[in-house]
Amino acid sequence: MPLSELQKAELFTGLEARGWTWRDAFIYAPHGTMWLSQSLPWAGDLSEFHERMSGRLERNLTMGQMYDDEADHRALVADTHGLVDTLTAMLSAPHA
């Protein structure tokens, strides 16, 4: 089941607090390494979103040697970490 309207609002508020910004109908991570659609940021449920992005973060942390530019790698990790932190906070909230 896709995220509810309440979950999308909470997601976007949390991301904005972490420096994500809106351009047109998309919210972009601070370093521009990822973006989410306002209408459908994720097709599955919140737990699945968290699991998938946590896995991505773990892979990003261990795959640094694949990047020619260390700054690009740090930016990707920071952006992914901000998303995972937001999702973790949402799952920890009493209403999640």
The domain spans of the chain are 5-92
3-state secondary structure at position 76: helix
11-25 per-position pLDDT tens digit: 999 999 999 999 999
Instruction: Indicate the SS3 state at residue 36.
Output: strand
Contacts of 50 (CB under 8 A, 6+ apart): 84, 87, 88, 90, 91
> Please, what is the angle between helix 5-17 and helix 70-92, to 10°?
130
Indicate the pTM of the whole model: 0.90
Cβ atoms of 28 and 35 within 8 Å: the answer is: yes
Q: Average pLDDT for residues 46-50, to the nearest whole number?
A: 97
CB 31 within 8 A of CB 83: no
